[in-house]
Structure 1
């Protein structure tokens, strides 16, 4: 059940790892996740933008992309996606640890309510600083059809970002910021609270106790914790994708903002349209979090153990 320092009969104090170390651990986990799960993210985006119902499901979408555009198309947007995940997890883990440090009581304890608040604040921070601009670029690249660069509007991440700023202004990179804030805040609120509780329930692991879970244990609790967020935030994710995909060159925007999209999408396409892409999100996010926690727990656990020696 993981490694634990030999007992000396003394009561060990809680080891609080620096936000910088947690930030580093998160960034390494993000690199690992991006390389493994990019195809599922491409499929999720295509399904969310599929108003004409071209795709009948995840497998059909993947097959059509490969048949029409080649297997490499499943890795469209990988550069911004990998950079985005690396920065996002560094910021998420670091700011969550920072907010937790502000909310701990004098003994260093953290209540469930304060843990939820720290996660929500970390999600808002990452949404505004990293997630929104990178996802705008990623989604613009992913919605393009074909492989011939000459026929594509956006030639790559840098070109896409430059063209968006030129045509839509710098705020164009923050299209869909409101639903992204709600999605990420709620996601991280659920994630950090659930991961801490699943560690305790499954493996009797308390934060800062000097134990390091085995990678498979971190993967199990991380996977389980990550299942809550996508279900709770499905509508925000669909609205975010629709808003980010809107381009001024296409004419007047279909959706004026979060509330407008929240009304129009179910009215025009049915309530279930707000949960399009939920299955691929569940196939991508929990496995991704399993990978991230398997890596980051090993790094943070190493430093926790050193504090207990």
Structure 2
């Protein structure tokens, strides 16, 4: 007769996973590092996307023109909202993605499918777009489009003053100008990025989440860089439209762009198809390196926690 143990085999304990709050902390630290390194590229990208008359001939010409006419400090315009925005965005993105993934995990195996990763990433992107990205980017873009450094000549004196002016002149919803393309851009970006990052970790380094293995920073940077390349190409039109919608004000009367679809049609009719990918090269110069920097920091933080948390736990 079989023993009770053989009739009822003991279930394999599920592998412990890193809690969402640790993912959120790792993302915030990665965001601080990324913002410190890449702000000038973001300024150049914004100026190129807003350039309708061909004043800038390319990335280098744009950067040198800004430096020559406005000073080197102009390349760090909007740094405060950019750094705050990145830190909060990555905190929410990493934490919410971890919570969504927990909901999509198989209850028996603890594993998550690629479909679950895509949906988790998309949900995290939509949430960050509505809660953080849109209002912060509206303020950042309004500050970045101003030319010159003399405070008396600038409409917006700083991030807080800019936000107050927008609310006073356009209402609270003015801070959510361009929300629709931002949601589409961020949702698509994060769906692709989280799925690709996991795939590259497994493919290149045989790293599975929760296995106790910690990638070297250079390995995380390679995976993060590769994961960050697809999004900008796919979401270029959403990013251009988002920037145009956020930058326009009611100073001259009626708004030029009535919404996302109208903006896409107008840009295509007036400037051609390629105008919908304006600023793509600086986006590729900023986003993949930014993801490389962020993941290098985030993986080390979660890796440290993973080693401590999984010590003595079955793998």
TM-score range, shorter chain: over 0.9
Work out whether residues 92 and 128 of structure 2, in 8 Å CA contact, stay in contact via their aligned partners in 1: yes
Deviates most, 244-253 or 289-298: 244-253
CA distance in 2, matches of 1:74, 1:242: 20
Q: Which residue of 2 aligns with 1:8?
A: none
How far has the Cα of 1:207 moved from its partner? 1.2
Could you tell me how far apart the structure 2 residues matched to 1:15 and 1:67 are? 55
* Kept after mapping to 1: 8 A contact 2:14/2:110: no
Residue in 1 that maps onto 2:17 = 16
CA contact under 8 A between 1:224 and 1:286: conserved in structure 2?
yes
The structure 1 residue matched to 2:120, chosen from 115, 118, 121, is 118
- Is the 1:149–1:155 Cα contact (8 Å) retained in structure 2? yes
- Partners of 1:126 and 1:18 lie apart in 2 by 19
1:254 aligns with 2:256: yes
8 Å contact from structure 1 (residues 12, 308) kept in 2: no
Aligned length: 299
2:80 is aligned to 79
Partner of 1:95: 96
Aligned to 2:215: 213
Distance in 1 between the 2:237 and 2:124 partners?
Answer: 20
Aligned-pair CA distance for 1:262: 1.2
Q: Deviations over 1:62-115 (max 9, x none)?
A: 000000000000000000000000000000000000100111011211000110
Deviations 1:35-58 (A, max 9, x none): 000000000000000000100100
Q: CA deviation at 1:182?
A: 0.1
- Offset at residue 13 of structure 1 (A): 4.6
| CA contact 2:77–2:143 (8 Å) conserved in 1 | yes
In structure 1, distance between residues paired with 2:229 and 2:13: 33
**Paired residue for 2:42?**
41
1:16 is displaced (CA, Å) by 1.2
TM-score when scaled to structure 1?
A: 0.95
Q: After TM superposition, list the pairs within 5 Å mapping 1:147-296 onto structure 2.
A: 147-296=149-298
Assess if the C-alpha contact under 8 Å between 1:13 and 1:209 holds in 2: no
**Do the aligned partners of 1:124 and 1:182 also contact (CA within 8 Å) in 2?**
yes
Instruction: Tell me if structure 1 keeps the 8 A contact 2:138–2:177.
Output: yes
* Cα distance in 1, alignment partners of residues 99 and 252 from structure 2: 42
CA contact (8 A) 1:115 1:192 kept: yes
Q: Is there any run of 5+ residues in structure 1 with no aligned partner, and where?
A: 1-10
Q: Who is 1:62 aligned against?
A: 63
Question: Residue 250 of structure 1: CA displacement?
Answer: 2.8
Aligned mates of 1:24, 1:265 — CA distance in 2: 40
- The CA deviation at 1:248 is 1.3
